[in-house]
Each structure stands twice: as structure tokens, then as C-alpha cells.
Amino acid sequence: PSIDEAYLDVTENKIGSTSAIKIAKLIQHDIFVELGLTCSAGVSYNKFLAKIASDYEKPHGLTVIMPKDAKKFLADLPVEKFHGVGKATEMKLHEMGIFTGADIQAADPLVLAERFGLYGWKLFQKANGIHDSAVVTSRQRKSVGKEKTYGKLLYQIEDVKQELINLSERVADSLKKHHLKGDTVVLKLRYSDFRTLTKRKKLSEKLSEAEALALVAQDLLEEIDYDDTLGVRLLGVTLTGFGAEELRLDMPD
């Protein structure tokens, strides 16, 4: 199964290499040596093509799509391989006689836009190798949360409260790492019958300490009228409401 994926803009890079292919090979090598895991990589001149390329030879391939080859590469792809084309869109495209990238390339973009709105125009552009979405290397964090699913169900409220303490400590560690404080605590609880409850509380002051976070989470547990006959399958504790103090982070936890 796939673990995760990311986009990298290597126009400027730490090793000073002018070859994106070389960098992709080095990343694959380092991941395998350090973690014993394989990964696929796609190299191209925009995000859409790099994503298509990375999916082409899983689990340990390296596919490169050069600008001169892009339209031919895309022409051979079935429409369902284009990002955003689900079953419903695929059926509508088939009804229009569009089955491959070549068919999209030959289609009237105005007709596509009329049928699918803005996505129709974007689909036409993608099929022609045009995609100007930038690689975003930072983002604003809106919340920090931790969840845990329990193979052995929790019944006693004291056990649930202890798990809330454990989760709060993990959240606090992340908050400390990123110098964050928030004023809204969210509790998530899922019973064995998969009924999921969420409860939140906005505080008068921002907090980041594990003890304070756990106390609020435990108060929320009391407020949801906990049923100890069902058994808890999942618990989650989240802190949000960072406001103006929210930091821009390179990567999520």
C-alpha cells in the first residue's frame, strides 16, 4: 500500500544539482537504504505530469516526461487516469465519445467548459500538458490533533480519561515543537457501533500544556453523557483557534 506522497520543486536544491532525475534517484536510494522501503517517482515540468509519472511504474519505478513527449504521453492515457475524473465524469466523457487523452486534446474546450464548467477547461489544459499550479512548500496550520483506534475496546470511564491524558500529551508535544497555543479544544469519540460524537469548547485563554488540555478534554467527555456499555473504538483530541499566532509550517506531522 502507498504510505504518502509529496511534490518537490528542485529548481533550486541543497546539493546544487541541475538534474531532477538524479535527485529522484538519490531520494529513492536513501529511502531504501534508511527505511528498507521502495518508492516510485515521477519527474516532469509541472505537478500534474509529475503525479501521472509517479503512478506509472509503481512500486519502485522512475518515469520521466519531457516537454517534447508530454502530449504524446497524455494522448495514450485513458480518461480515468486524469486527476479529478471519477466514475460520473468518466461516464459523461464516454457519452461524448471521449475515451483517451487524445480525445480530450481534439475536443472543443468551449464544449468541455459548457459541460463540466471550469473543470472542463482545466481538463483540456492538462491533456495538452498545461498545468501552472505551483508547489507550495508551506501552509498555515489550523489545528493540531491526535487520534487513536483501539483494537481492545475501552469501557471504563477512567480508562477513557487516561487515554485522553495520553493523547493530550502527544498534542502538547506537537504544540511545543511548533510554538503554538490555541483556545478551542475538540473531543472526538467513536463507539463500537461506529456512532461518532464530537464536542468542542472555546476557552477564554489560549493553552498549550498537556495537563490543561487533558482537563478540558475530560470535561467534554462528561458533557457528552458517556455510555460505558458500548465500548470506545476511537478517541481524538484536537486543539485549534490559533488565530494570529498561527505559524507557517514546512510539513504537517
252 prior amide bond cis, ω within 30: no
For the record, the C-alpha cell of 222 comes out as: 462528561
Helix, strand, coil shares, percent, the chain, to 5: 45, 20, 35
Cell 457528552 belongs to 224
Residues annotated as catalytic are 5
For the record, the C-alpha cell of 218 comes out as: 475530560
The closest of 103, 63, 142, 183 to 112, measured between CA atoms, is 103
Contact of 231 with 157, CB cutoff 8 Å: no
For 191, phi and psi rounded to 5 degrees? -80, 175
